A and B are shown apart, each in its own frame.
Chain A
Amino acid sequence: MTRGATLAGRKRPGEALVYGFLLFAAGVSVLTTVGIVVTLGKESFPFFLEVSPWEFLTSGRWQPQIGDFGILPLFTATVLTSLVAMAIAIPAGLASAIYLSEYASAGVRNVLKPALEVLAGVPSVVYGFFALQTVTPALRWVFGIERVDVYNTLSAGLVMGVLILPLISSMCEDALSAVPNSLREGAYALGATKIEVSLKVVMPTAFSGLAAAFIVGLSRAVGETMIVALAAGSGPALTLNPFRAAETMTGHIVRISGGDLSYDSIDYNSLFAIGLVLFAITLTLNVVSNRLVRKYREVY
């Protein structure tokens, strides 16, 4: 053998280089978060010099031309569209998860699951097209043209619900499948029907996983942009009527940044202020859902 007689290792600078790159790669993710926080903070800071956070968060008027920067109209529109979306996505997503994990035969699953995955893969701008092209006219036909605006939060919310449905469905399915089979067997052995086992034993047991799924769905709805940009409306409006047009936080950001915009104008800075609020909301929701996911993973 030509190897040296000692057990001392060879110098391996290659390994160190590799390690360095890998560490850097992992560090990029940290840099990203830092970048987001710094950018949002830095670019919104000048805005908060002009407009007090209190006014920003509580005023109901967003009219930059006259210096009114109250986020409430945008915020309520976001809440409205998100609630409509959740009203569709949560029941339908949970129901389809129960069906797929407890009832469907292998053949049926092999057709429906990929279909749901396709649904999830459709870009949101296509959904926006669908909302404008088909859903809004349908709503206007059902409820009457006078009642339903050409742009309205209901249409955007409904379509968003369909967009988010597969996400919730798949997360709920994971949560339900994680429930050990021994629990189901115990329930069946007591003379329970399939539905009783699913609804009264499996679902309550999977609760924290299900809640995590709902929260992730909500976070997704809050951050969704293209559907609302196309279908919900292009002007801030403080209204709770889903048939009326109203611009959401995300829709506003996209509309303003797509037009003439000069750096360091108050409009530019206001976008980042809105972004800050958006980031805070979605981050909170995601942290909560993460805690819930970890909780249910530990139990099993």
Chain B
Amino acid sequence: MRTRKPFRAATLAERHRKGQAMAAVFLGATVFAVLSLLILLASVIDQTAGYVLVEYGTSEADVFPPGEDGSVPPIGSLSSPELIAVLSDNLGPRRLKALELESPLEERSRGDLADLVLAEVLEPEIVRTWTLFESLSSRSDILAWSAANVPDGALMFRFWLSPDFLSRSQSSDALFAGVRSAIIGSLMTIVLTVLIAFPLGLGAAIYLEEYSRDNAVNRFIKTNIYNLSGVPSIIYGMLGLGIFVRFLGPLTSGAAFGLAGGVAGDAGPGGSAAGGVVDAAVSAIVDGRTVLSASLTLALLILPTIIINAQEAIRAIPRGLRESGYALGATKWQVISGHVLPASMDRILTGTVLAVSRGIGETAPLVLVGASTFLTKDPTGIFSKFTTLPIQIYQWTARPQAEFRNIAAAAIVVLMVLLMSLNATAILLRNKYRSERRG
């Protein structure tokens, strides 16, 4: 009836071999994914430090007071008064006045003054940068190349990710740019986003799991939420642009409350006291492009994820817990707030934190809602103009010059650290709640 040999060793071995080959392929695919991650991280880190060859517009020897032995002192050794002297000697009166208006020279920190000297007097121009790997592996080649091609230049090893980088604000020069405004903008935006999205999301989840009956309306709401979670983030950006920025412009810009931007305090169109820097995209559009609009948009974006996650957390709580509460004569809300929520809060919080970290990384919707291309002042309140870390990364990455890749990479590291800490907090929170529950 059938053609089989006992313990058919031959075909059996084939089947096993095939199985092992496939298993190797499957493992390979997983490893491929992990490998991509490692290569990505490596290429980011590769850009965060390396040699920079700079050419000064004005050489240090020409403007620095010479040391006792006649040599040119490094900028790090000059004192504040010496730096101020250099500035006064070499800058035009109008420029000096403008700087004084922004912040009196006497009151500035030494580091600030040094930066000014560098930027305004020495006017360094980047000739070439090298990546970390190149810098470490072909050091002598780099030295030779620099000596041969730009003998007057200064070759320094630079960590693009440095405390200065974190404390400086935007600048069009890669050497002096920093992410301070972006970090503040990101944090402000995300805090406001959470304040809006978490109560709404949790509330909707409680409604759907505990209060709603199974009728067409509620089924529609559930399907709708699921669909919303799949809508691309850029569509939320368009929603934000159309409604929060434009339609609700008076509200979100603060004009309705008499706190509109474009007045002294925020960098409105050409309104900066420092002069010269105009927020290029502002001129044509009314200013609902504020932290508030951004947060509202992001809140709507992460809301479906928060709701779905909270729903699952609440659903996981067994009926028995609720029933024992009711049996004691508690109201529905008392049962929920006293029993169900505390029991599910760890999972709810973890999921919320994860949704939040997604929100922090969002770029496209914020571009649409009008993140500023250039801020001279840090955002100060919800009606301020804003920029965020991902926006900054986007802008820098899009520039062709190599040095902007460097600072983009540095900004990426800052962003990733922020995200990692957030996720770590989520895990810690979850563990804390878990152990509290176990008592």
Indicate whether A and B are direct neighbours in the complex (CB within 8 Å): yes
Interface residue ranges, A against B (CB under 8 Å):
12, 14-15, 18-19, 21-26, 28-30, 32-33, 35-36, 39-40, 42-43, 91-93, 95-96, 98-100, 103, 112, 115-116, 118-119, 121-130, 132-134, 162, 165-166, 169, 193-196, 199, 216, 219-220, 222-226, 229-230, 250, 253-254, 257-263, 271-272, 275, 278-279, 282-283, 285-287, 289-290
What separation, in Å, do the CA atoms of A32 and B284 have in the docked complex?
A: 27
Contact at A22–B207, with CB atoms within 8 Å?
yes
Which residues of chain A have C-beta atoms less than 8 A from B363's C-beta? 123-125, 225-226
What separation, in Å, do the CA atoms of A202 and B246 have in the docked complex?
A: 52
Residues of chain B in range 67-105 having any CB-CB distance to chain A below 8 Å: none
Q: Closest 6 A-B residue pairs measured CB to CB?
A: A223-B232, A123-B361, A25-B203, A39-B242, A95-B29, A195-B19
Contact at A14–B397, with CB atoms within 8 Å?
no
| 7 CB < 8 A contacts A-B | A126-B415, A133-B47, A134-B40, A219-B230, A263-B286, A282-B230, A285-B230
Taking the complex as formed, is B49 at the interface, i.e. its CB lies under 8 A from any CB of chain A? no
Interface string of B239-251 (1 = CB under 8 A from A): 1011100100000
Interface string of B276-303 (1 = CB under 8 A from A): 0000110111100000000000001001
Instruction: From B20-28, B156-164, B319-327, give the one contacting chain A.
Output: B20-28
Pick from A18, A115, A129: contact of B412, CB under 8 Å = A129
Contact at B33–A115, with CB atoms within 8 Å?
yes
What separation, in Å, do the CA atoms of A286 and B226 have in the docked complex?
A: 9
Contact at B29–A121, with CB atoms within 8 Å?
no
Pick from A128, A165, A260: contact of B280, CB under 8 Å = A260
- Known A-B contacts A99-B29, A279-B231; the reply to A39 vs B221 at CB < 8 A is no
Which residues of chain B have C-beta atoms less than 8 A from A12's C-beta? 331
What separation, in Å, do the CA atoms of A134 and B367 have in the docked complex?
A: 25
- Known A-B contacts A39-B242, A219-B230, A229-B394; the reply to A260 vs B203 at CB < 8 A is no
Interface residue ranges, B against A (CB under 8 Å):
15-16, 18-19, 22-23, 25-30, 32-34, 36-37, 39-40, 43-44, 47, 199-204, 206-208, 211-212, 220-221, 223-228, 230-239, 241-243, 246, 280-281, 283-286, 300, 303-304, 307, 331-333, 354, 357-358, 360-364, 367-368, 373, 390, 393-394, 397-398, 405, 408-409, 412, 415-416, 419, 423
Contact at B397–A132, with CB atoms within 8 Å?
yes
Contact at B373–A258, with CB atoms within 8 Å?
yes
Contact at B364–A19, with CB atoms within 8 Å?
no
Q: How far, in Å, is B19 (CB) from chain A's closest CB?
A: 4
Which residues of chain B have C-beta atoms less than 8 A from A222's C-beta? 232
- Known A-B contacts A95-B25, A258-B373; the reply to A223 vs B227 at CB < 8 A is no
Chain B, Cβ-Cβ closest to A163: B36
Pick from B43, B199, B232: contact of A134, CB under 8 Å = B43
Query: Is chain A's interface secondary structure helix, strand, loop, or mixed overall?
Result: helix
What separation, in Å, do the CA atoms of A141 and B340 have in the docked complex?
A: 58
Contact at A43–B227, with CB atoms within 8 Å?
no
Which residues of chain B have C-beta atoms less than 8 A from A282's C-beta? 230-232, 235
Which residues of chain B have C-beta atoms less than 8 A from A165's C-beta? 33
What separation, in Å, do the CA atoms of A253 and B223 have in the docked complex?
A: 28
What separation, in Å, do the CA atoms of A290 and B222 have in the docked complex?
A: 12
Which residues of chain B have C-beta atoms less than 8 A from A193's C-beta? 15-16, 19
Contact at B27–A25, with CB atoms within 8 Å?
no
Pick from B25, B242, B398: contact of A272, CB under 8 Å = B242
What separation, in Å, do the CA atoms of A254 and B284 have in the docked complex?
A: 17
Q: How far, in Å, is A105 (CB) from chain B's closest CB?
A: 12
Chain B, Cβ-Cβ closest to A37: B239
- Known A-B contacts A25-B207, A278-B235; the reply to A92 vs B230 at CB < 8 A is no
Q: Find the residue from B199, B204, B409, B419 having the highest chain A CB count within 10 A.
A: B204
Pick from A35, A92, A220: contact of B29, CB under 8 Å = A92
- Known A-B contacts A119-B36, A275-B238, A283-B231; the reply to A130 vs B204 at CB < 8 A is no
- Known A-B contacts A40-B238, A226-B394, A261-B285; the reply to A99 vs B231 at CB < 8 A is no
Contact at A260–B284, with CB atoms within 8 Å?
yes
What separation, in Å, do the CA atoms of A260 and B282 have in the docked complex?
A: 8
Contact at B33–A116, with CB atoms within 8 Å?
yes
What separation, in Å, do the CA atoms of A282 and B232 have in the docked complex?
A: 8
Which residues of chain A have C-beta atoms less than 8 A from B416's C-beta? 122, 126
Which residues of chain B have C-beta atoms less than 8 A from A39's C-beta? 238-239, 241-243
Contact at A32–B300, with CB atoms within 8 Å?
yes
Which residues of chain B have C-beta atoms less than 8 A from A92's C-beta? 29, 32-33
Q: How far, in Å, is A62 (CB) from chain B's closest CB?
A: 18
Chain A, Cβ-Cβ closest to B16: A193
